[in-house]
Structure 1
Amino acid sequence: MTEAEQAGRPTTGATAADGTGGTRGRRRIGVLLGVAAFAYLLDLVSKLLVVAKLEHHDPIQIVGTLLQLEVIRNRGAAFGIGEAMTIVFTVIAAAVIVAIARIARKLYSVPWAIALGLLLGGAFGNLTDRLFRSPGGFEGGVVDFIAPAHFAVFNLADSAIVCGGFLIVILSFRGLDPDGTVHQD
Protein backbone atom coordinates (compact mmCIF):
# COMPACT_ATOMS: atom_id res chain seq x y z
CA MET A 1 0.00 0.00 0.00
CA THR A 2 1.39 3.43 -0.97
CA GLU A 3 1.76 6.35 1.41
CA ALA A 4 -1.09 8.17 -0.36
CA GLU A 5 -3.40 5.18 0.03
CA GLN A 6 -2.52 4.85 3.72
CA ALA A 7 -3.31 8.52 4.26
CA GLY A 8 -6.64 8.15 2.43
CA ARG A 9 -5.58 10.44 -0.41
CA PRO A 10 -6.83 9.96 -3.96
CA THR A 11 -4.41 8.29 -6.34
CA THR A 12 -6.49 7.20 -9.35
CA GLY A 13 -6.48 9.59 -12.32
CA ALA A 14 -4.51 12.21 -10.45
CA THR A 15 -0.93 13.13 -9.72
CA ALA A 16 0.60 15.29 -7.03
CA ALA A 17 1.37 18.86 -7.99
CA ASP A 18 3.31 20.13 -5.01
CA GLY A 19 6.82 19.25 -6.12
CA THR A 20 7.39 16.48 -3.59
CA GLY A 21 7.82 13.73 -6.16
CA GLY A 22 4.56 11.84 -5.82
CA THR A 23 3.29 12.72 -2.36
CA ARG A 24 1.51 15.85 -1.31
CA GLY A 25 3.80 16.73 1.55
CA ARG A 26 2.38 18.70 4.44
CA ARG A 27 -0.71 20.81 4.64
CA ARG A 28 -0.36 24.42 3.55
CA ILE A 29 -2.44 26.07 6.27
CA GLY A 30 0.51 28.28 7.28
CA VAL A 31 0.66 29.73 3.76
CA LEU A 32 -3.10 30.30 3.77
CA LEU A 33 -2.99 32.04 7.16
CA GLY A 34 0.08 34.09 6.24
CA VAL A 35 -1.48 35.37 3.02
CA ALA A 36 -4.78 36.02 4.81
CA ALA A 37 -3.07 37.96 7.59
CA PHE A 38 -1.06 40.02 5.09
CA ALA A 39 -4.16 40.85 3.00
CA TYR A 40 -6.21 41.65 6.11
CA LEU A 41 -3.57 43.87 7.72
CA LEU A 42 -2.88 45.71 4.45
CA ASP A 43 -6.62 46.37 4.08
CA LEU A 44 -7.07 47.38 7.72
CA VAL A 45 -4.11 49.78 7.76
CA SER A 46 -5.12 51.33 4.42
CA LYS A 47 -8.67 51.93 5.69
CA LEU A 48 -7.45 53.43 8.97
CA LEU A 49 -5.16 55.83 7.07
CA VAL A 50 -7.78 56.74 4.50
CA VAL A 51 -10.46 57.43 7.10
CA ALA A 52 -8.05 59.48 9.23
CA LYS A 53 -6.56 61.52 6.37
CA LEU A 54 -9.07 61.62 3.51
CA GLU A 55 -12.60 61.27 4.82
CA HIS A 56 -14.63 64.50 4.50
CA HIS A 57 -12.07 65.93 2.06
CA ASP A 58 -12.09 66.38 -1.69
CA PRO A 59 -10.94 63.35 -3.73
CA ILE A 60 -7.21 63.10 -4.39
CA GLN A 61 -6.35 62.68 -8.05
CA ILE A 62 -3.75 59.98 -8.67
CA VAL A 63 -4.03 59.83 -12.48
CA GLY A 64 -6.15 62.85 -13.33
CA THR A 65 -9.79 61.90 -13.16
CA LEU A 66 -9.01 58.33 -14.30
CA LEU A 67 -7.95 57.21 -10.82
CA GLN A 68 -8.75 58.99 -7.58
CA LEU A 69 -8.81 58.31 -3.86
CA GLU A 70 -12.31 59.10 -2.63
CA VAL A 71 -13.73 57.78 0.63
CA ILE A 72 -17.24 56.38 0.63
CA ARG A 73 -19.06 54.14 3.10
CA ASN A 74 -20.67 51.32 1.14
CA ARG A 75 -23.41 49.37 2.93
CA GLY A 76 -24.12 47.29 -0.16
CA ALA A 77 -22.13 45.28 -2.67
CA ALA A 78 -20.26 46.43 -5.78
CA PHE A 79 -21.65 49.62 -7.32
CA GLY A 80 -23.67 50.17 -4.10
CA ILE A 81 -26.14 47.45 -5.09
CA GLY A 82 -28.20 46.01 -2.25
CA GLU A 83 -27.67 48.64 0.42
CA ALA A 84 -30.71 47.32 2.29
CA MET A 85 -29.12 43.85 2.41
CA THR A 86 -26.08 44.61 4.60
CA ILE A 87 -26.88 41.75 6.97
CA VAL A 88 -27.05 39.33 4.03
CA PHE A 89 -23.56 40.39 2.89
CA THR A 90 -22.31 39.93 6.45
CA VAL A 91 -23.71 36.39 6.55
CA ILE A 92 -22.19 35.62 3.13
CA ALA A 93 -18.75 36.81 4.33
CA ALA A 94 -19.07 34.63 7.44
CA ALA A 95 -20.10 31.65 5.27
CA VAL A 96 -17.05 32.16 3.03
CA ILE A 97 -14.82 32.12 6.10
CA VAL A 98 -16.41 28.88 7.35
CA ALA A 99 -16.10 27.28 3.88
CA ILE A 100 -12.42 28.18 3.69
CA ALA A 101 -11.85 26.71 7.16
CA ARG A 102 -13.43 23.44 5.98
CA ILE A 103 -11.38 23.32 2.78
CA ALA A 104 -8.20 24.06 4.75
CA ARG A 105 -8.41 20.64 6.41
CA LYS A 106 -7.50 19.04 3.05
CA LEU A 107 -5.23 21.80 1.74
CA TYR A 108 -1.92 20.59 0.28
CA SER A 109 -1.56 22.98 -2.67
CA VAL A 110 0.43 26.21 -2.33
CA PRO A 111 -1.45 27.97 -5.18
CA TRP A 112 -4.77 27.07 -3.55
CA ALA A 113 -3.44 28.24 -0.18
CA ILE A 114 -2.58 31.61 -1.73
CA ALA A 115 -5.97 31.90 -3.45
CA LEU A 116 -7.91 30.94 -0.33
CA GLY A 117 -5.71 33.21 1.80
CA LEU A 118 -6.58 36.15 -0.42
CA LEU A 119 -10.29 35.32 -0.14
CA LEU A 120 -10.05 34.87 3.62
CA GLY A 121 -8.14 38.10 4.21
CA GLY A 122 -10.52 40.07 2.00
CA ALA A 123 -13.61 38.55 3.59
CA PHE A 124 -12.28 39.33 7.09
CA GLY A 125 -11.42 42.88 6.00
CA ASN A 126 -14.91 43.70 4.80
CA LEU A 127 -16.52 41.72 7.63
CA THR A 128 -14.57 43.83 10.15
CA ASP A 129 -16.09 46.97 8.61
CA ARG A 130 -19.60 45.52 8.65
CA LEU A 131 -19.26 44.55 12.31
CA PHE A 132 -17.43 47.56 13.76
CA ARG A 133 -17.98 50.61 11.55
CA SER A 134 -20.96 52.90 12.05
CA PRO A 135 -23.76 52.01 12.64
CA GLY A 136 -22.16 48.67 13.65
CA GLY A 137 -23.76 45.36 14.50
CA PHE A 138 -23.73 43.65 11.08
CA GLU A 139 -24.82 46.87 9.34
CA GLY A 140 -21.62 48.90 9.16
CA GLY A 141 -20.55 50.57 5.95
CA VAL A 142 -17.46 49.19 4.24
CA VAL A 143 -14.81 51.85 3.62
CA ASP A 144 -14.13 52.05 -0.11
CA PHE A 145 -11.59 54.52 -1.48
CA ILE A 146 -10.02 53.42 -4.78
CA ALA A 147 -12.08 55.21 -7.40
CA PRO A 148 -11.31 54.46 -11.05
CA ALA A 149 -13.32 56.48 -13.58
CA HIS A 150 -16.56 54.81 -14.70
CA PHE A 151 -16.23 51.92 -12.25
CA ALA A 152 -17.19 51.00 -8.70
CA VAL A 153 -15.22 52.45 -5.81
CA PHE A 154 -13.46 49.60 -4.00
CA ASN A 155 -10.83 48.79 -1.37
CA LEU A 156 -7.88 46.42 -0.91
CA ALA A 157 -10.10 43.70 0.61
CA ASP A 158 -12.20 43.74 -2.56
CA SER A 159 -9.02 43.49 -4.63
CA ALA A 160 -7.84 40.48 -2.60
CA ILE A 161 -11.22 38.77 -3.05
CA VAL A 162 -11.22 39.34 -6.81
CA CYS A 163 -7.59 38.18 -7.19
CA GLY A 164 -8.26 35.10 -5.06
CA GLY A 165 -11.38 34.28 -7.05
CA PHE A 166 -9.54 34.74 -10.35
CA LEU A 167 -6.75 32.44 -9.16
CA ILE A 168 -9.31 29.79 -8.14
CA VAL A 169 -10.83 29.90 -11.63
CA ILE A 170 -7.38 29.43 -13.20
CA LEU A 171 -6.53 26.56 -10.83
CA SER A 172 -9.86 24.88 -11.54
CA PHE A 173 -9.38 25.14 -15.31
CA ARG A 174 -5.90 23.64 -14.92
CA GLY A 175 -7.41 20.74 -12.94
CA LEU A 176 -5.51 21.45 -9.72
CA ASP A 177 -7.44 20.54 -6.58
CA PRO A 178 -6.89 21.97 -3.08
CA ASP A 179 -5.54 18.57 -1.99
CA GLY A 180 -2.64 18.97 -4.45
CA THR A 181 -3.83 16.50 -7.06
CA VAL A 182 -4.13 17.30 -10.75
CA HIS A 183 -6.89 15.71 -12.78
CA GLN A 184 -5.64 14.20 -16.01
CA ASP A 185 -8.82 14.02 -18.09
Structure 2
Amino acid sequence: MSTDQSSDQWSSAEGDSPEEPAAKEPATSDDAPRRGVGKPLVLLFGIAVVALVIDVLTKVAVVANLEGHPPVKVLGGLFYLDVLRNPGAAFSLATGLTWVLALLAIVVVGVIVWLAPKLRSAGWAVGLGLVLGGACGNLVDRIFRAPGPLQGHVVDFLSFLAPGGQVWPVFNVADSCIVVGGVLVVLLSLLGRDYDGTVVRKKKARES
Protein backbone atom coordinates (compact mmCIF):
# COMPACT_ATOMS: atom_id res chain seq x y z
CA MET A 1 0.00 0.00 0.00
CA SER A 2 1.36 3.37 -0.95
CA THR A 3 1.93 6.24 1.41
CA ASP A 4 -0.69 8.37 -0.36
CA GLN A 5 -3.34 5.70 0.05
CA SER A 6 -2.47 5.28 3.74
CA SER A 7 -2.71 9.00 4.39
CA ASP A 8 -6.03 9.16 2.53
CA GLN A 9 -7.46 6.34 4.63
CA TRP A 10 -6.04 7.90 7.81
CA SER A 11 -7.58 11.31 7.09
CA SER A 12 -10.86 9.64 6.16
CA ALA A 13 -10.91 7.77 9.47
CA GLU A 14 -10.18 10.98 11.36
CA GLY A 15 -12.88 12.92 9.52
CA ASP A 16 -15.62 10.38 10.11
CA SER A 17 -17.23 10.68 13.51
CA PRO A 18 -19.95 8.48 15.00
CA GLU A 19 -23.43 9.79 14.48
CA GLU A 20 -24.75 11.70 17.47
CA PRO A 21 -28.17 10.66 18.82
CA ALA A 22 -30.93 12.95 17.74
CA ALA A 23 -31.89 15.48 20.38
CA LYS A 24 -35.31 14.99 21.91
CA GLU A 25 -37.78 17.58 20.88
CA PRO A 26 -39.18 19.63 23.74
CA ALA A 27 -42.79 19.07 24.63
CA THR A 28 -45.12 21.28 22.71
CA SER A 29 -47.46 23.69 24.42
CA ASP A 30 -50.30 21.25 23.75
CA ASP A 31 -48.48 18.43 25.56
CA ALA A 32 -47.29 20.50 28.53
CA PRO A 33 -50.66 20.95 30.28
CA ARG A 34 -51.23 17.20 30.22
CA ARG A 35 -48.08 16.29 32.12
CA GLY A 36 -48.67 15.56 35.81
CA VAL A 37 -52.39 16.29 35.68
CA GLY A 38 -53.66 12.78 36.44
CA LYS A 39 -52.86 12.47 40.15
CA PRO A 40 -54.11 15.93 41.21
CA LEU A 41 -57.35 15.37 39.29
CA VAL A 42 -57.95 11.99 40.94
CA LEU A 43 -57.08 13.45 44.34
CA LEU A 44 -59.35 16.48 43.90
CA PHE A 45 -62.45 14.61 42.74
CA GLY A 46 -61.81 11.65 45.03
CA ILE A 47 -61.73 13.89 48.10
CA ALA A 48 -64.76 15.84 46.84
CA VAL A 49 -66.80 12.65 46.40
CA VAL A 50 -65.83 11.31 49.84
CA ALA A 51 -66.67 14.64 51.50
CA LEU A 52 -70.01 14.83 49.67
CA VAL A 53 -71.00 11.26 50.57
CA ILE A 54 -70.11 11.71 54.25
CA ASP A 55 -72.01 15.01 54.39
CA VAL A 56 -75.15 13.61 52.74
CA LEU A 57 -75.17 10.42 54.83
CA THR A 58 -74.72 12.25 58.14
CA LYS A 59 -77.51 14.70 57.29
CA VAL A 60 -79.88 11.90 56.32
CA ALA A 61 -79.05 10.03 59.53
CA VAL A 62 -79.53 12.95 61.92
CA VAL A 63 -82.75 14.09 60.24
CA ALA A 64 -84.20 10.58 60.41
CA ASN A 65 -83.16 9.90 64.00
CA LEU A 66 -82.61 13.16 65.86
CA GLU A 67 -84.72 15.94 64.35
CA GLY A 68 -87.37 17.04 66.85
CA HIS A 69 -85.53 15.38 69.73
CA PRO A 70 -83.39 16.92 72.51
CA PRO A 71 -79.69 17.46 71.70
CA VAL A 72 -77.41 14.46 72.14
CA LYS A 73 -74.08 14.87 73.92
CA VAL A 74 -71.10 13.25 72.20
CA LEU A 75 -67.41 13.01 73.06
CA GLY A 76 -68.07 14.00 76.65
CA GLY A 77 -69.77 17.25 75.71
CA LEU A 78 -67.20 18.40 73.17
CA PHE A 79 -70.04 18.37 70.63
CA TYR A 80 -73.81 18.16 70.77
CA LEU A 81 -75.92 16.72 67.97
CA ASP A 82 -78.59 19.39 67.63
CA VAL A 83 -80.48 19.41 64.32
CA LEU A 84 -81.32 22.83 62.87
CA ARG A 85 -82.49 24.01 59.44
CA ASN A 86 -80.31 26.86 58.24
CA PRO A 87 -81.46 29.16 55.39
CA GLY A 88 -78.13 31.01 55.45
CA ALA A 89 -74.50 30.31 54.71
CA ALA A 90 -71.96 28.39 56.76
CA PHE A 91 -72.30 29.04 60.49
CA SER A 92 -75.77 30.62 59.96
CA LEU A 93 -74.50 33.70 58.12
CA ALA A 94 -76.63 35.62 55.57
CA THR A 95 -79.86 33.87 56.51
CA GLY A 96 -81.95 36.07 54.21
CA LEU A 97 -80.01 35.36 51.02
CA THR A 98 -80.71 31.68 50.44
CA TRP A 99 -81.07 31.80 46.65
CA VAL A 100 -78.00 34.04 46.29
CA LEU A 101 -75.97 31.57 48.33
CA ALA A 102 -77.21 28.72 46.13
CA LEU A 103 -76.11 30.55 42.98
CA LEU A 104 -72.78 31.42 44.60
CA ALA A 105 -72.21 27.74 45.40
CA ILE A 106 -72.90 26.85 41.75
CA VAL A 107 -70.33 29.44 40.65
CA VAL A 108 -67.75 28.07 43.11
CA VAL A 109 -68.30 24.53 41.84
CA GLY A 110 -67.97 25.72 38.23
CA VAL A 111 -64.74 27.60 38.91
CA ILE A 112 -63.13 24.62 40.65
CA VAL A 113 -64.15 22.23 37.85
CA TRP A 114 -62.75 24.68 35.28
CA LEU A 115 -59.48 24.99 37.22
CA ALA A 116 -59.11 21.25 37.86
CA PRO A 117 -57.30 20.30 34.60
CA LYS A 118 -54.64 22.92 35.34
CA LEU A 119 -53.78 21.54 38.78
CA ARG A 120 -50.27 20.21 39.36
CA SER A 121 -50.17 20.59 43.15
CA ALA A 122 -51.34 17.84 45.51
CA GLY A 123 -51.88 20.37 48.29
CA TRP A 124 -54.14 22.51 46.12
CA ALA A 125 -55.98 19.38 44.99
CA VAL A 126 -56.73 18.46 48.60
CA GLY A 127 -57.84 21.98 49.50
CA LEU A 128 -60.02 22.48 46.44
CA GLY A 129 -61.39 18.95 46.77
CA LEU A 130 -62.60 19.73 50.30
CA VAL A 131 -64.14 23.02 49.15
CA LEU A 132 -65.80 21.33 46.17
CA GLY A 133 -67.23 18.51 48.27
CA GLY A 134 -68.50 20.91 50.92
CA ALA A 135 -70.04 23.28 48.39
CA CYS A 136 -71.80 20.39 46.65
CA GLY A 137 -73.03 19.01 49.98
CA ASN A 138 -74.76 22.23 50.98
CA LEU A 139 -75.92 22.80 47.40
CA VAL A 140 -77.76 19.46 47.50
CA ASP A 141 -79.74 20.80 50.46
CA ARG A 142 -80.41 24.11 48.68
CA ILE A 143 -81.87 22.30 45.68
CA PHE A 144 -83.70 19.32 47.16
CA ARG A 145 -84.83 20.31 50.66
CA ALA A 146 -87.82 22.41 51.70
CA PRO A 147 -89.09 24.99 51.03
CA GLY A 148 -88.04 24.49 47.39
CA PRO A 149 -85.30 24.57 44.72
CA LEU A 150 -82.59 27.18 45.43
CA GLN A 151 -84.50 28.04 48.63
CA GLY A 152 -83.82 24.84 50.57
CA HIS A 153 -82.59 25.08 54.15
CA VAL A 154 -79.30 23.38 54.95
CA VAL A 155 -79.25 20.77 57.71
CA ASP A 156 -76.82 21.74 60.50
CA PHE A 157 -76.30 19.45 63.46
CA LEU A 158 -72.88 19.94 65.11
CA SER A 159 -72.89 22.31 68.08
CA PHE A 160 -69.54 22.93 69.78
CA LEU A 161 -69.38 22.64 73.61
CA ALA A 162 -73.04 23.51 74.15
CA PRO A 163 -76.36 22.82 72.40
CA GLY A 164 -78.14 25.39 70.26
CA GLY A 165 -74.98 27.10 69.05
CA GLN A 166 -74.43 28.92 72.35
CA VAL A 167 -70.64 28.85 72.02
CA TRP A 168 -70.20 28.49 68.25
CA PRO A 169 -72.78 28.50 65.43
CA VAL A 170 -74.20 25.08 64.60
CA PHE A 171 -72.52 23.60 61.50
CA ASN A 172 -72.22 20.41 59.47
CA VAL A 173 -69.60 18.29 57.69
CA ALA A 174 -69.82 20.40 54.50
CA ASP A 175 -69.11 23.61 56.44
CA SER A 176 -66.07 22.00 58.05
CA CYS A 177 -64.75 20.86 54.66
CA ILE A 178 -65.18 24.33 53.16
CA VAL A 179 -63.34 26.00 56.04
CA VAL A 180 -60.47 23.48 56.21
CA GLY A 181 -60.06 23.47 52.42
CA GLY A 182 -60.15 27.26 52.23
CA VAL A 183 -57.56 27.62 54.99
CA LEU A 184 -55.28 25.12 53.24
CA VAL A 185 -55.51 26.98 49.92
CA VAL A 186 -54.78 30.32 51.59
CA LEU A 187 -51.83 28.82 53.47
CA LEU A 188 -50.36 27.38 50.28
CA SER A 189 -50.74 30.77 48.58
CA LEU A 190 -48.95 32.51 51.45
CA LEU A 191 -46.13 29.98 51.19
CA GLY A 192 -45.75 30.79 47.50
CA ARG A 193 -47.02 27.45 46.23
CA ASP A 194 -49.27 27.90 43.22
CA TYR A 195 -51.95 25.55 41.88
CA ASP A 196 -49.86 24.73 38.80
CA GLY A 197 -47.01 23.33 40.92
CA THR A 198 -44.73 26.36 40.70
CA VAL A 199 -43.07 27.72 43.82
CA VAL A 200 -42.61 31.47 44.12
CA ARG A 201 -39.71 32.42 46.37
CA LYS A 202 -39.36 35.93 47.61
CA LYS A 203 -36.10 37.49 46.50
CA LYS A 204 -33.86 38.66 49.27
CA ALA A 205 -33.28 42.38 49.34
CA ARG A 206 -29.93 43.32 47.90
CA GLU A 207 -27.40 44.53 50.36
CA SER A 208 -26.74 48.21 49.97
Aligned residues: CA RMSD = 2.0
Q: Which runs of 4+ in 1 moved over 3 A?
A: 1-9, 63-66
- Aligned residue pairs: how many? 172
Q: Which runs of 5+ in 2 are unaligned?
A: 1-24, 203-208
From 94, 98, 104, the equivalent of 2:110 is 98
Question: Is residue 171 from structure 1 mapped to residue 188 from structure 2 by the alignment?
Answer: yes
Distance 1:89 1:66 in 2: 29
1:155 to 158, 169, 172: 172
Q: Which structure exhibits the higher relative contact order, with contacts defined as CA atoms closer than 8 Å and separated by 6 or more residues?
A: 1
Give structure 1 stretches of 5+ with no counterpart: 10-23
Choose 79-88 or 59-68, whichever is displaced more.
59-68
In structure 2, C-alpha distance between the alignment counterparts of 1:158 and 1:182, rounded to whole Å: 29
Quote how far apart the aligned CAs of 1:183 are. 1.1
Q: 2:50 aligns with which of 22, 38, 50?
A: 38
The structure in which a higher percent of residues are strand is: 1
Q: What is the deviation of 1:58? A: 0.4
Match runs of 1:18-37 below 5 Å:
25-27=36-38, 28-37=40-49
In the superposition, relative to structure 1, how do residues 108 and 79 fare at CA in structure 2: closer, same or farther (>3 Å)? closer
Q: Which amino acid aligns with 1:173?
A: L
Larger Rg: 2
Distance 1:4-1:162 versus aligned 2 partners, 3 A rule: farther
Give the corresponding residue for 1:13: none
Q: Within 5 A, what are the aligned runs for 1:7-156?
A: 7=31, 25-27=36-38, 28-63=40-75, 66-148=78-160, 149=162, 150-156=167-173
Over the matched positions of the two proteins, sequence identity in percent amounts to 46
Q: What is the DSSP-based 3-state SS (H/G/I as helix, E as strand, rest coil) of the residue aligned with 2:199?
A: strand
Q: 1:174 to 1:3 in 2, by over 3 A?
A: farther
TM-score, scaled to structure 2: 0.76
TM-score under structure 1 normalisation? 0.85
- After superposition, give the CA deviation of every residue in 1:60-100 in whole Å (9 maximum; x if it has no partner): 01255552110000001244332221001001100100110
